[in-house]
Amino acid sequence: MKSQLYINEIQPLFDDAQRSRIFNDQKTMTDAVPLFPISEINKRYEKEKGEEGFDLRSFVLTNFDFIGEKAVRKDDMLPITEHIEKLWDELTHTASEDEGTLLKLPKPYIVPGGRFNEFFYWDSYFVMLGLQVSGRVEMIKNIVENCSYLIHEFGFVPNASRTHFLSRSQPPYFSLMLDLLAESTNDENVYSKYHSTLEKEYRFWMAGEEGLENDSAVKRVIKTKEGDLLNRYYDSENTPRPESYLIDIEDQHEAFGEEFFRNIRSACESGWDFSSRWFADGATIQTIETLNLAEVDLNCLIWHLEKTLAKSSALIGLTDKTAYYSQRADNRKQNIDQYFWDEEAGIYRDYHIKQHIKTSSEHIATLYPLYLGLASEKQAKAVSEVIAEKFLYKGGLVTTTKESGQQWDLPNAWAPYQWLGFLGMKNYGFTQLADDIKNNWCTNVERVYNNTGKLMEKYNALDTKTIAGGGEYPNQDGFGWTNGVYLKLKQY
């Protein structure tokens, strides 16, 4: 196992650089590649920093290389689908060796774009949807291979392919990636080929379940007071995120609880950084309590992983394992109904493991049971009505019904949930609603593209005259999962 980060070895310099705000974006320093041996840089820093006229920014620029953002080339305004086809090549990166914080990967991969110049886990699934439409099966295979490599190397797919993400993962989409690969190649053998990979990822998410007592939690596993197993997002570190170092330190003032940093990091594992969904008061990040929640999206994805493991076990002829994983999936399906379904509200919510109640946050992760076919017809109908009434706007589906200034809240529409919403509604026969979701969002994407020549990370669903905002950094241009979901939706 690699050390969490060579940043640990330059901590005094790193701390000074981040606190001094020598770069506008805190991610810049984490992505820096040392030009000399670390011991040499440290020695030089200790010697020079006390000298008169010492300039910290100049010192850092002299001792580190900065790749930074790679601007997307703007040709004459191409039709949007042609632009995306060209973007696939621009967003393709390789990392044949470890460099600074960047982890090596065996195959080329697609990066999201803008400041995100590394491989991201759940983003890659939605990128793959578009690659399938583009007929780029080789890149779909590459992404699966890279995930498999990371799982065998580290036990899981990190949030992204940098050393400072080795303490957390992201929503576990590997089993869904295999479905997409099997569909793209018409080859069921992918499940048996990656059986050991699936098992290893499952062990990561279930680590610590043995001997866990009722009404307690360890790492990513929760045992309810009734004795049922559920999962939560978690991060093994309780320190400021290097990529948002000063932001976290400043946010910690007046924060609630000793594990503020771990709660922040655990929300990052969900991909939703950040949302009122995680806040005890529904408004301020200082009340973040991710660790107290079992999430409906995560548990649905792990149900899919269990179902896929039952399938891969059957293909290999492992009868006992087939029965074992099938039983686990059946149990989890019952638990999803019991702990997340809110009959009165007609939606799925998260479950608060300390208060033993469903949380009050209304959020778009309610789509997962419909997307994966776990909801009953009655549940799906209820969810569809709430989606139409509270979540669907002129520019697409919003993530929550609360405006907090956080980027994973109203009024923002994110690509993954347009796909989950579209397919979830189609699965249960709500064809008109599915089409409205598709058309509202795709029209918004086309409008922004025609006005700016850009495909964005997220969109404003309410004010379709503007581009989305909120969050810790400016809206990014590229953008992997927008490209993928747009192409896939336009296929229907």
Q: Judge whether 457 counts as a catalytic residue.
A: yes
DSSP string, 346-382: TEE--EETTTTEE-S--BGGGGHHHHTT-S-HHHHHH
> Residue 462 in 3-state DSSP?
coil
Catalytic residue among 289, 350, 457, 477: 457
Q: pLDDT tens for residues 173-232?
A: 999 999 999 999 999 999 999 999 999 999 999 999 999 999 999 999 999 999 999 999
**The pLDDT of residue 303:** 99
**Residue 338: pLDDT over 90:** yes
Closest among 448, 386, 368, 379 to 413, alpha carbons compared: 448
Catalytic residue among 273, 297, 362, 477: 273
Domain boundaries, the chain: 7-65, 245-291, 377-491
**The pLDDT of residue 131:** 98
**The pLDDT of residue 237:** 95
Tell me which DSSP letter residue 466 carries.
S
Q: pLDDT tens for residues 94-126?
A: 999 999 999 999 999 999 998 899 999 999 999
Q: pLDDT tens for residues 120-133?
A: 999 999 999 999 99
**The pLDDT of residue 1:** 36
* Least reliable range by pLDDT among 124-128, 419-423, 466-470: 466-470
Q: For residues 443 and 461, give the distance between their C-alpha atoms in angstroms, rounded to a whole number.
A: 11
Q: Judge whether 362 counts as a catalytic residue.
A: no
Mean confidence (pLDDT) of the chain: 95
- Virtual torsion, Cα 150, 154, 159, 162, nearest 10 deg: -80
**The pLDDT of residue 475:** 82
